[in-house]
Amino acid sequence: MKKIKVRKVGNSLGVILPKSSGVVEGMELDYQKQSSKIELTINETEREYDRREIEKGFDDFEKQNILTEDEFAKKFQKYGWHK
């Protein structure tokens, strides 16, 4: 098990997660405390985040600010999008 240091952020506490965790800036996580464990869940919140990104993409499309097919596949390949 890897260790993560808890840090003070304003009046709250926070942790820094490695990139390999799959968490990205702006993503909201569900959490649950179970006795001495804290469980973070990204499954549904990750889909919601990506859904918002896709919807934002429609706004970008109307402004002619679009992703190439390769860029889109790279960003959403975990959901089966590919060339």
Can you tell me the mean pLDDT for 16-40?
86
Reading the block at residue 63, the tokens are: 């402004």
Q: Which residue has the higher pLDDT, 37 or 78?
A: 37
Sign of the dihedral through C-alpha 66, 69, 51, 77:
negative
Residues 15 and 4: their CA atoms lie apart, in Å, by: 7
Contacts of residue 26, defined as CB under 8 A and 6 or more positions apart, other chains included, come to: 49
Single pTM value for the model: 0.45
**Residue with token string 């003070």:** 8
Cβ atoms < 10 Å from Cβ of 45: 15
Q: Which residue has the higher pLDDT, 72 or 80?
A: 72
Name the helix (H) or strand (E) containing 81.
none
